[in-house]
Amino acid sequence: MKKFLFFLVMTGFLSCDEKPQAQAEVEQDTAKLSDTLEVQSNRQVSLLPEAQEKVGDWLAFATAYNQVEDMRSATGRDLVSNSQPIVQIMDALNSTLPDSLQQVPVRARTTVLVTKANVLHQVATKKEVKAQEVFNAANDIILEFDNFKLQLNELFLKTPADFEIELDRQFEESQDSLRRIRQTQEDENKVAPLGRE
């Protein structure tokens, strides 16, 4: 009898403990696939003019850029149905990287984008699709695409040596300007006394 009572009490404890966990799971996934993605970052990176010039003719970049912009206002259902095309777009971005951008950090960023797109596709093709997982994966892609654009910009930022050269050039130009001004003043002073006589 004591064993039965002990078993009954333990079953009661365990069943009470399981209900809050089930409620917590329901509360965590309150997002629905019909909801629109709420972008978790309000950061938007613009490309520097030099970077924009390099990617201007790169069709895969333009396609990926448009896809990421569309994702910002997509519903969960849109993200699920576009998960395979997103993988293909990011694969194309990675495989068609122009020679002028073939740098290890840029290549790493495109590889991360391919990985994040595959994660989105994986969560979108589960038996039980969870909207929050889809939204999290989509937010990761948006964040990583901004990081990719930052990396492109970094290719065109000046190094400290470039700044030093630029400062030296500006200093020489200012010295030349000062010499010309002094020369002009000296020439005017030479002409003025002759004109008075």
Q: Domain holding 133: CATH number?
A: 1.20.120
Give the pLDDT of residue 194.
Answer: 53
- For residue 166, being part of any structural domain is answered with no
Asked if residues 65 and 146 have their Cβ atoms less than 8 Å apart, the reply is: no
Q: Is 38 left (phi over 0), alpha (psi -120 to 50) or beta?
A: beta
- For residue 105, being part of any structural domain is answered with yes
- For residue 69, being part of any structural domain is answered with yes
Say whether pLDDT at 72 is over 60.
Answer: yes
pLDDT in tens, 38-70: 888 888 889 999 999 989 999 999 999 999 999
Percentage of residues in the chain with pLDDT exceeding 90? 47
- For residue 76, being part of any structural domain is answered with yes
Q: How many helices (H) and strands (E) does the chain have?
A: 8, 0
- For residue 175, being part of any structural domain is answered with no
Say whether pLDDT at 150 is over 90.
Answer: yes
Asked if residues 148 and 97 have their Cβ atoms less than 8 Å apart, the reply is: no
Q: What is the mean pLDDT of residues 66-80?
A: 92
Give the pLDDT of residue 12.
Answer: 56
pLDDT in tens, 152-184: 999 888 776 666 777 777 777 777 777 788 778
- Higher-scoring residue by pLDDT: 51, 7: 51
* 119-120-121 Cα angle (round to 5): 90
User: How many domains does one find in the chain?
Assistant: 1
Q: Which residues of 16-51 are buried (b: 16+ CB within 10 A; e: fewer)?
A: eeeeeeeeeeeeeeebebeeebebeeeeeeebbeeb
Q: What is the mean pLDDT of residues 123-147?
A: 93
Task: State the number of CA atoms in the 13 A half-sphere of 45 facing the CB.
Answer: 20
Average pLDDT in the chain = 81
Domain that holds residue 144: 48-157
Q: What is the mean pLDDT of residues 112-120?
A: 96
Say whether pLDDT at 108 is over 80.
Answer: yes
- For residue 60, being part of any structural domain is answered with yes
- For residue 42, being part of any structural domain is answered with no
